[in-house]
Amino acid sequence: FLVFNYQWPRIYKNLGFKAGISLIHYSNANVKAPNTSTNTFAFNAGLTYSLSGNGDTEFITIEKPAIKESVRMNLVFRTGLNESDVINTGQYPFYIFSAYADKRLGKSSAIQLGTDVFYSNFLKELIRFQSVSFPEIEVDPATDFKRVGMFVGHELFIHKLSVITQLGYYIYYPFDFEGRVYNRVGVKRYFGDKWFAALSLKSHAAKAEAVELGIGIRL
């Protein structure tokens, strides 16, 4: 669910205007096949009214100390269940090990660069299924089901919460599944200065592969 809004306050006295666009995506995130989904685009517009008197607002500038932080290393373990696109092939656990460096750009933002190692057991079953059921596509049953990717990302800090967006590319890709480019969006919750939990959605463009539950440490 994404919403982008822009507001024009006090166009006329205390009366303002706002407008925006919404994207609503609904699916089961490939936890179980079939992964049917719906996408909704919506537009909104409306009026706003300020109750703060005659419209004369005085803003106070607050000096905020600059955040100076060296490059930090992050280690994350993610897991969950998912199923291939073939119905009734079964749900299988997956395990993802991630390591990445991040650099704070200010109080609210950081950029990331790292790598993911994927152990996706549903791919092991899909490889076996295709090698037996579709000999014409010549899938070797001994094909490795593991994948390794490199990614760049951004983290938006909101107090103890943060929003992550990552774009990755598989550098080890022995079996073709949904293409080499993948993306991840999610949220993190920090517990203290180092430990955090994460909930994220990994997909290939608009096609979801898995909902990931993770735990990690920021060193």
Whole-structure pTM value: 0.80
Tell how many helices (H) and how many strands (E) occur in the chain.
Answer: 1, 11
pLDDT score at 187: 94
For 100-126, give one letter per residue: b (16+ CB within 10 A) or e: bebebeeeeebebebebebebbbbbbb
CB-CB contact of 153 with 100 (8 Å): yes
pLDDT score at 55: 56
Dihedral sign from CA coordinates of 30, 32, 36, 42? negative
pLDDT score at 56: 62
Q: What is the pLDDT along the chain (219 residues), one digit of tens a residue?
A: 678 788 888 888 888 899 998 877 777 777 777 777 777 878 889 998 888 766 566 667 777 777 778 899 999 999 999 988 888 888 999 999 999 999 999 888 999 999 999 999 999 999 999 999 998 988 999 999 999 999 999 999 998 999 999 999 999 999 999 999 999 999 999 999 899 999 999 999 878 899 999 999 999
pLDDT score at 53: 63
Domain 72-218 has CATH 2.40.10.230: no
Tell me phi and psi for residue 180, to 5 degrees. -80, -20
CB-CB contact of 30 with 210 (8 Å): yes
Q: Cβ atoms within 10 A of the Cβ of 26, count?
A: 11
DSSP string, 145-183: -EEEEEEEEEEEEETTEEEEEEEEEEEE-SS-SS-SEEE
Distance CA 160, CA 127 (A): 41
The domain locations on the chain are 2-49, 72-218
Furthest-apart CA pair in the chain: how many Å? 77
CB-CB contact of 116 with 66 (8 Å): no
Side-chain half-sphere CA neighbours of 107 within 13 A: 6
